[in-house]
Structure 1
Amino acid sequence: MRHHRTRFTPPFPLQDTQAYTMAGDRMIVIAFRGTEPTQIKDWLTDASTPPATGPGGSGHVHYGFAEALRSVYPDVEAALEDLRTDGQTLYFTGHSLGGALAMLAGARMYLEDPNLAADGIYTFGQPRTCDVVLAEAFHRGLGGRTYRFVNNNDIVPQLPPEPVFTHVRGLRYIDSKGKLHDSMPMFSALTDRIAGASADVFAPASDGIRDHFMRNYLKALEQNLG
Structure 2
Amino acid sequence: MRAVTFLVTRPREQYPADALAGIAGDARGRLRAAAWLAQLAYEDDENKVDSIARDWSLRRILSRAPQVLALPWQPETRLHVLEPAGGTAGPSVVTVCGTDPLRFANWVTNLTVMPAAGGVHSGFLAALDAAWPDLAPVLHGRTGPVWVVGHSLGAAVAALAALRACETLDLTPEAVYAFGMPRVGGEAFAARYEALLGARTFRLVHGYDVVPRLPPDRIGFRHVGRRLSCAHRARFDPAATAAARDEEPLPPRTLPGLFTDAPGWVLPAFETLRRDPVGLATGLLPAKVADHLPDRYCTACSP
Q: TM-score range by the shorter chain?
A: 0.7 to 0.9
Choose from 55, 61, 65 the match for 1:3.
Answer: 61
Moved over 3 A (4+): 9-15, 36-44, 188-204
Which ranges in structure 1 are unaligned for 5 or more consecutive residues? 54-58
Number of the residue aligned with 1:16: 76
Of 91, 112, 115, which aligns to 2:147? Answer: 91
SS in 1 for 2:232: coil
SS of the equivalent of 1:8 reads coil
Secondary structure, counterpart of 1:68 in structure 2? helix
Q: Given the alignment of the two structures, is residue 77 of structure 1 paired with residue 136 of structure 2, yes or no?
A: yes
Asked if the contact 1:153–1:195 (Cα under 8 Å) also holds between the matched residues in 2, the reply is: no
Inter-CA distance 105–183: structure 2 relative to 1 (3 Å threshold) = same
Find the counterpart in structure 2 of residue 32 from structure 1.
96
Larger Rg belongs to: 2
Write out aligned runs for 1:104-183 (5 A).
104-113=160-169, 115-163=170-218, 164-180=220-236, 181-183=240-242
CA–CA distance in 2 between the matches of 1:23 and 1:120? 15
Quote the residue 1:103 is aligned against.
159
Quote how far apart the aligned CAs of 1:12 are: 6.2
- Of 67, 75, 84, the residue aligned with 2:126 is 67
- How far is the alpha carbon of 1:176 from its aligned partner? 2.3
Which whole-Å CA distance do the structure 2 matches of 1:149 and 1:14 have between them?
28
User: Cα–Cα, structure 1 residues 155 and 79, in superposed 2: closer, same or farther, change >3 Å?
Assistant: same
Tell me the equivalent position of 1:219: 299
Give, in angstroms, the shift of residue 112 of structure 1. 2.7
Give, as a single letter, the amino acid of the residue that structure 2 aligns with 1:131. G
Q: 1:60 to 1:11 in 2, by over 3 A?
A: farther
In structure 2, give the amino acid aligned to 1:62.
H
Decide whether the 8 Å contact of 2:75 with 2:127 is kept in 1.
Answer: no
More RCO (CA 8 Å, sep 6+): 1
Residues 210-219 or 156-165, more deviating: 156-165
For the residues of structure 2 that align with 1:135 and 1:100, how far apart are their CA atoms?
Answer: 12
1:90: Cα distance to partner? 0.8
TM-score normalised to structure 2 length = 0.60
CA 1:190–1:130: 2 relative to 1, 3 Å: closer
Unaligned runs of 5+ residues in structure 2 are 1-58, 269-281
Q: Provide the alpha-carbon RMSD of the alignment.
A: 3.3
CA deviations on 1:179-225 (whole Å, 9 max, x unpaired) are 423249xxx958976489659959972211110011111111103xx
Structure 2: how far apart are the matches of 1:195 and 1:124? 26
Higher strand share: 1
Letter in 2 for 1:212: H
Which deviations, in whole Å up to 9, do the C-alpha atoms of 1:40-96 show, x marking residues without a partner?
66864x57x53111xxxxx311110010000001101122248x3xx2111100001
Distance, in Å, in 2 between the alignment partners of 1:195 and 1:16 is: 37
SS in 2 for 1:3: strand
Contact persistence 2:60–2:80 (CA under 8 A): no
Separation (CA, whole Å) in 2 of partners of 1:37 and 1:157:
17
